[in-house]
Structure 1
Amino acid sequence: MAENDTQEGAAGAGQADDNQPQFAMQRVYIKDSSFESPGAPQIFQEQWQPEVSMDLNTSHTRVGEDQFEVVLTLTVTSKIGEKTAYIVEVQQAGIFVLKNFEGERLGQMLGAYCPNLLFPYARESIDTLVTKGSFPPLMLAPVNFDAIYQQAVERKKQEQQGAAQGEGDEASRQSH
């Protein structure tokens, strides 16, 4: 009798585990990359004190049940004065399994956690392209994807509140 209780308990535990959030990184790959050095070869004669700017963007697409492609796009521009030394762009992508994540938690995983995992790969790819372009190594500083994601969530909430308030104003103008 005790044996049956143990088996039933194990089966029940397995069902509970099926509802637990599960995460896996299946694949990491470069989706696209480009390197341009529009000022070469003259730029190599300049004293190397560049002004470096970085733009970043993230996107995600559902590619299967519980599978998502997350793409981190980094664009780095290096200038000396008004002259562009180089522009490098990398789209670092990954396929992630996110099972039993919903709503805000799924958004946080896709918008912050996954890009954070992809960033070291993108940083390495950018550094490799820059050095192969005959420029000094470029070590990008870490990025706080959680803060960026929270700012985007707050911005979206404010836009929705503004739109809802605008609709309310429009309705009150029409009723008068």
Structure 2
Amino acid sequence: MAKKSKDDQAKKTNGDRPNAAPAGTPPPQSAAAAARTAAGAELAVLAQYIKDLSFESPGAPQTLQGPGENPQLKVGVNVSTAPRGDDIYEVALHIEAHAKSDAGVIYNVELMYGSLFRLRNIPQHLMQPVLFVDCPTILFPFVRRVLADVVRDGGFPPLMLDPIDFARLYTQNMARSEAGDQAQPN
């Protein structure tokens, strides 16, 4: 094994490139540095509540005996946000479920479930995705349970919604919005 001289050891750069910044110069902000900065981000749930709840079963008690021919369920989802103070945002998840058959309406249920979130140290470019993707994702299991309980208490089998991909919905809405902006003349 050959011995290395002190000159050879001094030339070691530990992966530094020859054009690396001088010692003491702060490195440019990288994705990793941005992640470390975002590590101080805070998303806290301050409160959760039912803002509005409506259940109608106009065909009861006949619809309780069977759904009738060609039962159909239509579910709509909407997310709304509003600032409520310094670093405080209200996020409301509105779900409508309409069940009908050839015989008529089986049931209609509408739920607006809200929450107050404290968002701190979140970069501005990430604020909208956090409000429209992360916050509704946190709320969804609670919304699902309320809907299931209300429909069950109305005399029907519980409505068990599949998980909702809020990231996909957000991306689709952003694409639609951009397509609409491009179609508008300046």
Q: TM-score, normalised by structure 1?
A: 0.78
CA distance in 1, matches of 2:72, 2:38: 51
Paired position in structure 2 for 1:60: 81
Paired position in structure 2 for 1:26: 46
Matched, 1:40 2:82: no
Paired position in structure 1 for 2:150: 129
Matched, 1:149 2:170: yes
Counterpart residue type for residue 78 of structure 1: A
Q: Out of 83, 94, 104, which is 1:83 matched to?
A: 104
Structure 1 moving runs of 4+ over 4 Å? 16-19
Change (3 A) 1:18 1:85: closer
CA distance in 2, matches of 1:98, 1:114: 10
Residues 98-136 of structure 1: CA deviation (Å, up to 9, x unaligned): 112244311101111101111111111111110111111
Paired position in structure 2 for 1:10: none
Counterpart residue type for residue 52 of structure 2: D
Counterpart residue type for residue 93 of structure 2: L
CA distance in 2, matches of 1:19, 1:141: 31
CA distance in 2, matches of 1:93, 1:150: 22
- SS of aligned partner of 1:154: helix
Q: TM-score, normalised by structure 2?
A: 0.74
- SS of aligned partner of 1:79: strand
Counterpart residue type for residue 152 of structure 1: N
CA distance in 1, matches of 2:176, 2:67: 41
Q: Report the CA distance between 1:17 and its aligned residue.
A: 7.2
Q: Report the CA distance between 1:20 and its aligned residue.
A: 3.1
Matched, 1:120 2:135: no
Which ranges of structure 1 fall in alignment gaps of 5 or more residues? 1-15, 168-176
Paired position in structure 2 for 1:101: 122
**Higher gyration radius (CA):** 2
CA distance in 2, matches of 1:105, 1:45: 50
Residues 2-50 of structure 1: CA deviation (Å, up to 9, x unaligned): xxxxxxxxxxxxxx97993221111111111110001112212335673
Paired position in structure 1 for 2:10: none
Q: Report the CA distance between 1:80 and its aligned residue.
A: 2.0
Larger helix percent: 1
Counterpart contact for 2:38–2:122, Cα < 8 Å: no
